[in-house]
Chains A and B, each alone.
Chain A
Amino acid sequence: EAEVAQSPRYKITEKSQAVAFWCDPISGHATLYWYRQILGQGPELLVQFQDESVVDDSQLPKDRFSAERLKGVDSTLKIQPAELGDSAMYLCASSFGRNQPQHFGDGTRLSIL
């Protein structure tokens, strides 16, 4: 089991609904990443946090996606409203600092019906 905790492991919901994912990084890791992996593709960065601040969210579809890390520890990624194309694996990773190895969670597999 990964040291980076993510929940839920699986989520099935209908389009137009709201969905939220949670990530608890390794203790002491200041940098946190959210990635999206579409089936058959490599992951793509959605957002990067350094402590509680967003470092990069240029690839985050901000009309429907939001991410927060209010206390600089755990993080939540939200989609509202969900669309069929959002079906993917959502991966969280953390690292001690920038330019350090990233440790990945087991991911949340999202299916939109």
Chain B
Amino acid sequence: KNEVEQSPQNLTAQEGEFITINCSYSVGISALHWLQQHPGGGIVSLFMLSSGKKKHGRLIATINIQEKHSSLHITASHPRDSAVYICAVRSSGGGADGLTFGKGTHLIIQP
């Protein structure tokens, strides 16, 4: 079982819809990242959070440490939001701090 599970795997929505992508993890973490990957491969870091909620423009990320769950929300979605959204965690164990990634959620926003 993957340590980081995302749902849904694929999501198609209409422009303007409110989008929610979920992430569950099974290990203790020191931080959780939400990343965006466009076709061609480049990855952009959207949020790094260890508690509570963060907001940037139309994007909102929340995390519940007790439930080991995080959500990424997109308000007023737009076709340019179409991308793969990846959840990644940094384990709270000592030593290396490379990220463990989910498989990603492929989001398509139709005009």
Task: Write the residues of chain A forming the contact surface with B, with a CB cutoff of 8 angstroms.
Answer: 2, 31, 33, 35, 37, 40-45, 48, 55-56, 58, 89, 91, 93, 98-99, 101-107, 109
- The answer on a CB contact under 8 Å between A42 and B45 is no
Q: With A101-B45, A104-B44 given, can you name 19 additional A-B contacts, CB distance below 8 Å? A: A2-B42, A31-B97, A33-B98, A37-B41, A42-B88, A42-B103, A42-B104, A43-B99, A43-B101, A44-B101, A45-B96, A45-B99, A55-B97, A56-B96, A93-B43, A99-B31, A102-B99, A104-B42, A106-B41
Q: Which residue of A lies closest to B87 (CB)?
A: A42
**A89 and B41 contacting across the interface, CB-CB below 8 Å:** yes
Number of interface residues of B (CB under 8 A): 25
User: How far is it, in angstroms, between the C-alpha of A26 and the C-alpha of B104 when the chains are bound?
Assistant: 26
| Cα A37 to Cα B31 with chains together (Å) | 21
CA distance A91 to B96 in the complex (A): 17
Judging by beta carbons under 8 Å apart, are A99 and B101 in contact?
A: no
B100 contact set on A, CB distance < 8 A: 45
Q: Does B73 contact A (CB under 8 A)?
A: no
Instruction: State in angstroms the CA–CA spacing of A91 and B101 once bound together.
Output: 13
Q: Determine which of B45, B97, B103 lies in contact with A41 in the assembled complex, contact meaning CB atoms within 8 Å.
A: B103
Query: How far is it, in angstroms, between the C-alpha of A31 and the C-alpha of B101 when the chains are bound?
Result: 18
